[in-house]
Amino acid sequence: MADDDARSSDEPAEHPLVRHVSRPDGVEVLTLDHPRVNALCGDLLDQLETLVTEMARRPLSEGPRAVVITGGPKLFAAGADITEFAERGGAAPFALSDADAVARLGRAFLDALNAVAALPCPTIAAVNGVALGGGCELALACDFRVASTGARFAQPEILLGIIPGGGGTQRLARLVGPSRAKDLVFTGRMLDAAEALEMGLVDQVVEGDAEPAAIERAASFAAGPRHALAIAKRAIDEGLEGSLADGLRREQEHFVASFDTDDAHIGVASFLEHGPGRARFS
């Protein structure tokens, strides 16, 4: 998964559902580890949110320069743990949970995936095998998606008589457009990696394990200007929340702010002295 000289973060006594490795190049790798299909249960979502929130709370100069999220070499995530939406016991073991229980799990999805989306650094999902339902939504919460040729994507919630609740009606529509999003959400159909690439759901398709390619892409970002990247990500994401005029105003504010960083001093000085593209950022 990671280079031999990568160090693992301290793990709790119990089996962690999200494994965390920090690499010396500034890339941090989060691997879902919930056998057998990486179902996104409440505990896994809580652990993911805790890890990501801790990363975001560090000073920017000490935080991750890029983050890769993967489910391992066989699959990404098969979606929510559907058993958590059922009573599981008593006279009606297959009855739906009450609205409060559903809302709690929905909130866990919202909080964890919003925390991933809000990380102030580039994030890349490395998708092997299936990314279904909540698994697809987790990939959508990342900035980029690298998929193996065998990857499969779907928002199949409609086949259960429900709708996506982790961003599948919102992030998906913003990424591929409303018509294609409605097709995927209304039908629940499966996409292979080639179709996902064609419609813009994924950014790169590779033979074999997607993780090395995702790490290579992340490492290229990690070598860049971390403050400028964080500001650029914020400007793009905030601009999508409002009108074009509002976005352009926010861009100007962030543009001015970017000059008050070490990155700007390093980059402009390097350009003036050595020409473009030769700056080395700390």
- Structural domain includes residue 281: no
| Cα 277 from Cα 282, distance rounded (Å) | 15
User: What is residue 13's predicted lDDT score, i.e. its pLDDT?
Assistant: 41
Residue 280 included in any domain: no
- Structural domain total, the chain: 2
**Virtual CA dihedral for 50, 56, 62, 64, nearest 10 degrees?**
80
Mean pLDDT of 234-240: 94
Catalytic residues, by residue number, are 80, 134, 137, 157
Residue 94 has a pLDDT of: 60
pLDDT digit string, tens, across residues 89-134? 566 666 676 777 778 888 999 999 999 999 999 999 999 999 999 9
Question: For residues 213 and 68, what is the distance between their CA atoms, to the nearest angstrom?
Answer: 10
Residues 234 and 205 in one domain: no
Boundary-marking domain end, from 222, 237, 258: 222
pLDDT at 218 over 60: yes
CATH of the domain at 252: 1.10.12
Residues 28, 121: Cα–Cα separation, whole Å: 11
